[in-house]
Amino acid sequence: MSGEFFIFIVLSLIAIGGGIMMINLTKVVHMVVALVFTFISIAGIYVMLSAEFIAVVQILIYSGAITIMMLFGIMLTRHNDKSETSGGGFRKFLIFLAILGFGLVFYLGIYQLELGEPSTSLHENNTEQIGIALYSKYIIPFELTSVILLVALIGAIVLAKRDDKEGEERE
């Protein structure tokens, strides 16, 4: 067993363990914190796949920004009640069976998939390669992303802003 395989196994176990803990814990804050482990070990997986820039972005965006934003969402709403799962045990069991079947079908499709030789040049100046591709081949999607972020920013503010008229009527 090579060192690379060992690191992959450890990172995968942390990622899957974080997900399982998210499913099984009862307090919502603990669930979000359990998912931070998953996100950080996914960043480790990206480093193994010679994508250092995406690993840094993953740590910044997911384990930093999105987790903090979700924690704000929990704190701003009522979070004292335990998050028990919805529906009866039978419904949960049916959902579990359906997802198990889904996963098995896809596993049968991929478990011996091998495509060509792995690339050997992706880790050399990874950020520079991404920058060159982003500003030459993908310049139009890159600019459109800025429009999406602007729309999301304005939309989030408009949605979350307290509507003064409605507030007065209710009070």
Partner 1 sequence: MSSVPLSAYLTLAIILFCIGLYGALTKKNTVIVLIAIELMLNAVNINLVAFSKYGMMPSIDGQIFALFAIAVAAAEAAVGLAILIAIYRNRKSVNVDDYNSLKN
Q: Which residues of 9-24 are buried (b: 16+ CB within 10 A; e: fewer)?
A: eebeebbeebeebbee
DSSP class of 66:
I
* Choice from 10, 68, 73, 139 touching partner 1 (CB under 8 A): 73
Contact 38, 18 (CB under 8 A): yes
Q: Does 56 contact partner 1 by CB under 8 A? A: no
Q: How many other CB atoms are there within 10 angstroms of residue 8's CB atom?
A: 14
Minimum distance, C-beta of residue 28 to partner 1, in the bound complex (Å): 5
Contact between 69 and partner 1 (CB under 8 A)?
yes
Instruction: Encode 76-139 in three state secondary structure.
Output: HCCCCCCCCCCCCHHHHHHHHHHHHHHHHHHHHHHCCCCCCCCCCCCCCCHHHHHHHHHHHCCH
Residue 37 within binding range of partner 1, rule CB under 8 A: no
Q: What part of residues 77-96 is at the interface with partner 1 (CB under 8 A)?
A: 77-79, 83-87, 92, 95-96
Among 14, 37, 45, 59, binds partner 1 (CB under 8 A): 45
59 binds partner 1 (CB under 8 A): no
Q: Which two structure tokens, joined as six digits, stand for 90?
A: 């039978």
Identify which of residues 117 and 168 has a Cβ nearer to partner 1 in the complex.
Answer: 117
38 is a contact residue toward partner 1 (CB under 8 A): yes
**By CB under 8 A, is residue 122 in contact with partner 1?**
yes
| Least separation in angstroms between CB 165 and partner 1 | 14
Question: Residue 85 CB, nearest distance to partner 1 (Å)?
Answer: 5
